Structure 1
């Protein structure tokens, strides 16, 4: 089992991932605002299923790679650091899109399509794959036990964090959209705060040592 204090830091990283604007968040907000909370929840079920797909694939892959190629840790750490800095820039870049601005005239989808598109949006999202591939190795140590079980442990924690935050987003999307529309200053504060946290995580990852 991974120590509790290390899991807490992983929770912070997972939280930053889920609140960073991306395809999953945009899709959930769009469907929640245009079709209601029920459609948002169905879409969220699809997104979470996509996370589970990534977890299974990455867990087995990391088990093989990390045990066979130690230098892979350095490669994945570098990849994760660069990606976090990229996300930080995306958060504050000029003319970045307000994710709460959606097309309210978009067609309504049935439950099956909502779930399927949610799954594909998550399963085909490189942001999720990069997160797993770059972050999991930072917390996995052979002395903690099975690498595979540790990967699943981290995956379950990430899914729980993601589901919790996205569920709140689905329930409050319309009200949050109205708030940011009426208070653009707070949108800027949110972007710079997110960029700061992402940069901190990038620096911490860059300075971490191989297990």
Structure 2
């Protein structure tokens, strides 16, 4: 197996976290649902493509930035991992206490072009501070500071995130009407997703903190 491919347990753990994050209500999902409902599936898919492009940008920035940090300041990288674990605990708490808060916007007077829907998807993703913090603090949890292939593994995990998110985003768009009704009328669906999100990231955070405490 190539050096840049993480071990199978890492791939499976990251896949589970990716699926939970992808199906948990947030700005990206709200945008895709609202565009699909108001302007058609093509606009929902354009927003989803924009979001995936934003994830690619996040992955590149994190992979290069963290690789430099690993080489230049190992202590800072360790501090980032601990901060990341604490941030995951905060995300879990926030999901349980405040929920996803999914809001689907109404249609505007002018129908946007597909390019505008794509650009909106990119912008929502890139400018969402939770996404930025998530990638900065979450991806490093899956690499070893002493691994010479850390950069490649970060890119591989980012690609895994995108590959797994694409079918989920497509499914979201094609089931937009049903999902919107479910979130609006049946609050337990959203709450169940948020509790699942909280459980997964609490487990990751506890594992990380326990591992660091042994050093």
TM-score by length of 2: 0.84
Give per-residue Cα distances to partners, 1:60-110, cap 9 Å, x unaligned: 11111111111123222222222222222232225x4641x4233434311
User: Aligned to 1:148, which of 148, 151, 170?
Assistant: 151
User: Aligned to 2:173, which of 170, 178, 181?
Assistant: 170
Q: Does 1:82 align with 2:86?
A: yes
| Offset of residue 115 of structure 1 | 0.9
In the alignment, the residues of structure 2 paired with residue 142 and residue 28 of structure 1 have an alpha-carbon distance, to the nearest angstrom, of 37
| Offset of residue 47 of structure 1 | 0.9
Match of 1:28 in 2: 32
Q: How many residues align?
A: 209
Match of 1:104 in 2: 106
| Offset of residue 37 of structure 1 | 1.2
TM-score by length of 1: 0.86
Give per-residue Cα distances to partners, 1:19-63, cap 9 Å, x unaligned: 333222221122122222111001111111111111111111111
| RMSD, matched Cα | 2.4
Match of 1:128 in 2: 131
In the alignment, the residues of structure 2 paired with residue 123 and residue 18 of structure 1 have an alpha-carbon distance, to the nearest angstrom, of 16
Q: Decide whether the 8 Å contact of 2:24 with 2:197 is kept in 1.
A: yes
Q: Decide whether the 8 Å contact of 2:77 with 2:145 is kept in 1.
A: no
